[in-house]
Amino acid sequence: MVLPDLRNDLVDEILCRVPARNLKRLRSTCKRWNRLFKDDRRFAREHSHKAPKEYLALMLTNKYRIRPMSINLQGDVTSVVLKSELSLPDPDSNNSHQFDIDEVFHCDGLLVCSHDGNNRRYGFKIVVWNPFTGQTRWIKAGNRWKEPKSFVLGYCYQDKNKNKSCSKSYKVLCLSSCGKNTEIYELKSDTTWRRIPDGDLTPGWFFCPSHTVSLKGNTYFFATEKSKPHLGVSLLRFDFSTEKSSLFVPLPYQRPLSATLSLSAVRGEKLSVLIQPEFTSKTEIWVTSKIDDTTTKGAVSWTKVLALDLSPELQITDEVKFLLDEDKKVAVCCERWLDDEDETKTIDKIFILGEDNKVTEVGFGVDTNAGVWPVILNYVPSLVQIEQAGGNRIRSG
């Protein structure tokens, strides 16, 4: 029996187990499949649960653009290749100018990208974007905020029992550097921005906004307890169902905020932290045990994956972003250095760090325009559809 002779429900069951990037090549096979991949929310939910996850490295470059990366970690020769930038037209541009991205955050196959509007003179511009399908949702913010802001994306299940066959409700969280006056925006709602229940993102804690990651719809970040700063840095979790933060787990051992810290998600199941004490080149990368919707702080343990003693010339900065391949015990870090010959110029670099202090360095050329700090992230191509106010979907352009 050939595939077209199967019942539609059986065909759908087969297709929802095919990786997203393979489905894209099947769109032209028939009109029904094209509609299924583009417009069927039920199929998108089933595909999200059943299809193997593919991880694609993306980099926000100093040109305010996002470019896919090809990272080869096989064998003795490692390499990094930047591919052509992804297209995200600015809807306010008359000549199809691309949207300038200052910050990017990944959650569940969607990116939330923002631009600060030329030092906030023109207000913030925010978009939730599915690069795989091309769908977008532009969120109005105007000049409601005068101070710097960051934006993260998360979700909760519309079923209170977290039934994964039910729809997800996506929300954008607006963060200030101190965690005060935190606001949230629900994509499925007709309402505008509103304050979270406590207003303060982290009551009783000093919030560290430079490193935030998403795992299973929740956002994780570093913080230090105000009444017990001697205990060092802990990981807090913002739950998008309760819209409150809570202590998740202390770091593997006591570290002050002055140490270099970075946070990353590992294949959608674990969290990883990079720790480098101040004024030293000794660097460690730790990974949590698996985390799911029911994981509590007492059920999380840490395992050291990498212990490095890098050359002093490779001291990592506070802004470092990294990805971890736990199986290969290799970390890919994204950094910016000043040019040795002219400190008005910068060089964005990728460092691949492995066991036995093995380091591979890839530079992307000297630039006189520093632009935004480079960011590297693991993106999962997805068919997830984006709602606009009123529950409608935004179709790809």
**Local structure of 42: helix, strand or coil:** helix
Q: Which long-range contacts (CB under 8 A, 24 or more apart) does 337-340 make?
A: 339/366
* pLDDT band (50, 70, 90) for residue 397: very low
Query: If 0-12 CB within 10 Å is exposed, 13-18 middle and 19+ buried, where does residue 142 land?
Result: exposed
Integer Cα distance of 201 and 136 in angstroms: 27
pLDDT at 395 over 50: no
Distances (CA, A) of 254 to 72, 122, 251: 35, 42, 7
pLDDT at 90 over 50: yes
Predicted confidence at residue 396, as pLDDT, reads 45
pLDDT at 328 over 70: yes
53-379 fold: Neuraminidase (2.120.10)
Count of helices and strands (H, E) across the chain: 5, 24
Domain limits, CATH 2.120.10, in the chain:
53-379
Mean pLDDT score, 26-38:
82
Distances (CA, A) of 389 to 31, 106, 194, 365, 396: 28, 21, 15, 43, 16
Q: How far is CA 284 from the centre of its chain?
A: 22
Predicted confidence at residue 369, as pLDDT, reads 67
Backbone angles phi, psi at 331, to 5 degrees: -115, 140
277 sits in the region (left: phi over 0; alpha: psi -120 to 50; else beta) called beta
Residue in 240, 123, 132 with CA at minimum distance from that of residue 188: 240
Question: In whole numbers, what is the pLDDT of the chain averaged over residues?
Answer: 85
Predicted confidence at residue 161, as pLDDT, reads 61
The answer to whether residues 69 and 375 touch, using CB atoms and an 8 Å cutoff, is: no
Report pLDDT digits (tens) over 94-106: 777 999 999 999 9
Which residues contact residue 392 at a Cβ distance below 8 angstroms, ignoring those fewer than 6 apart? Answer: none
pLDDT at 1 over 70: no
* Higher local confidence (pLDDT), 50 or 293: 50
Q: How many of the other CB atoms lie within 10 Å of CB of 389? A: 16
Predicted confidence at residue 146, as pLDDT, reads 76
Predicted confidence at residue 162, as pLDDT, reads 59
The answer to whether residues 170 and 185 touch, using CB atoms and an 8 Å cutoff, is: no
Residue in 204, 310, 283, 278 with CA at minimum distance from that of residue 247: 204
Q: How many of the other CB atoms lie within 10 Å of CB of 257? A: 15
